[in-house]
Every structure is written in C-alpha cells, then in structure tokens.
Amino acid sequence: MTTVPTPIRWGRITRAGVLAPLLSFVLVTMIVTVYAFALAFQARGRPDAARINQFTAQVAPWATWALTALLTLLGALWVARAVPSRAQLHGLLVGVVAALLSLLLSLFGARGVQLTTVVARALIVAAGWVGGLIAARARRAPASTT
C-alpha cells in the first residue's frame, strides 16, 4: 500500500512568508512612532528629529530582523500545524520565503548586503524550520490526561 504525500500548501506558505517581514516593518515603524510621541510629550511640542533618527538608526536594523524571525516562527507554526506529515518542510519553506523577501527589501536600503544581513536571513530560515519542528513534535506528543 502506497501512501500519497500531502501536497505542499503554497498559499499558506506564501502568506506567512510575506506577512512576516511586512509586519515586522510595520511594528518597527510603530515603535519609532511611539518613541517620537514620547519625545513630543516630553518636549511639550515638536520632538527633536535628530534623536528620533538616532533611535531609528540604532533600533531598526536589529529589531526588524528579530521581529521577522519571531513572526516567521509563528507563521511556520501556523502553516505546519495544518500539514503534520510534512511540517518541517513547510516551516522551512516559510522561512525561505520570509528570508528572500527580507533580503530583497534590504537590497533597497543604503547599506546593501553585508555579512550581518546574510546571517540574519539565515536565522530567519532557521526560525521557520524550528517552527515546523515544534509543530511536528507537538503533533507526535500524546496528550496527557490528568
């Protein structure tokens, strides 16, 4: 008896892989906006643009890829839970899509591609794989009855 492999869910993979970098960009923008509002309230008027730019330059590069990795892990969990027999593959594919889009977006930045950029994208792929691994193990683990 031959078992037919579960098809790859490209729609879910693409959705999760595209949403992770886009949502991380939105979240970082929200963090910078909250900081700017805090400076405006503190100054009781117009905030100092130099302090906002300095904060953005310090926070945005690492926060963007860290949030992308976290959102990729969560997206991979969502995708992989629907396909328990191929959970790790689906998680890995979510990570690859998220990393490729993130890399593409970083090419438009002023810094271009550096070693840290490549390492960060590798961590995003790893986050997708870990999400698939967690989903696969969660399906295999028997539910405890207490």
pLDDT in tens, 23-33: 999 999 999 99
Q: Which residues in the chain land under pLDDT 50?
A: 1
- The set of long-range contacts for 99-106, using a CB threshold of 8 Å and a minimum separation of 24, is 99/72, 99/124, 99/125, 99/128, 100/17, 101/17, 101/18, 101/21, 101/22, 102/20, 102/21, 102/64, 102/65, 102/68, 105/21, 105/25
CA gap 62, 69 in Å, rounded: 11
Q: What is the pLDDT of residue 27?
A: 96
Q: What is the pLDDT of residue 110?
A: 57
Q: What is the pLDDT of residue 113?
A: 65
Q: What is the pLDDT of residue 93?
A: 95
Give yes or no for a contact between 37 and 50, defined as CB atoms under 8 angstroms apart: no
Q: What is the pLDDT of residue 72?
A: 97
CA gap 6, 13 in Å, rounded: 14
